[in-house]
């Protein structure tokens, strides 16, 4: 191994951050939870038996419609859900050589 693991992880993080900033990679902020757009748009809304429960018992009545499946059954698109083929927006410009600098990069943008 040429470098300690800490150094390799920093290098990998730097490469990933650079790819996102220059638009070469999709940031893809995928979460393990789905956050509703409004307080009344989630499976437990308005049902005290589901949350916080009654008598120390919570009822899970969604069946197989748990998480993103509940949103699909209700006809609601979960947040940040769908194809990732949208055009990417560059956060930074790539360095371009300036005509008077003989090929050396000059940061512009």
Indicate whether this model's pTM tops 0.85. Answer: no
Average pLDDT, the chain: 69
- The Cα–Cα gap between 48 and 63 comes to 17
Strand partners of residue 97: 105
Average pLDDT over residues 70-75: 82
Quote the distance between the C-alpha of residue 74 and its chain's center: 23
What does the domain layout of the chain look like in residue ranges?
1-23+88-109, 33-82
CB contact at 8 A, 95 and 101? no
What are 35-68's pLDDT values in tens digits? 677 777 777 888 888 888 888 888 887 788 877 7
With tokens 């748009």, the residue in question is 41
């Amino acid at each position: 191994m040429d470098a300690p693991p800490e150094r390799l992880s920093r290098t990998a993080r730097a490469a990933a951050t650079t790819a996102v900033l220059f638009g070469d990679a999709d940031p893809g902020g995928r979460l393990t939870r789905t956050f509703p757009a409004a307080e009344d748009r989630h499976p437990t809304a308005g049902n005290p038996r589901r949350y916080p429960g009654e008598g120390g018992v919570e009822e899970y009545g969604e069946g197989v419609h748990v998480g993103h499946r509940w949103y699909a059954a209700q006809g609601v698109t979960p947040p940040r859900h769908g194809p990732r083929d949208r055009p990417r927006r560059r956060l930074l410009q790539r360095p371009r050589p300036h005509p008077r600098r003989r090929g050396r990069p000059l940061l512009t943008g």
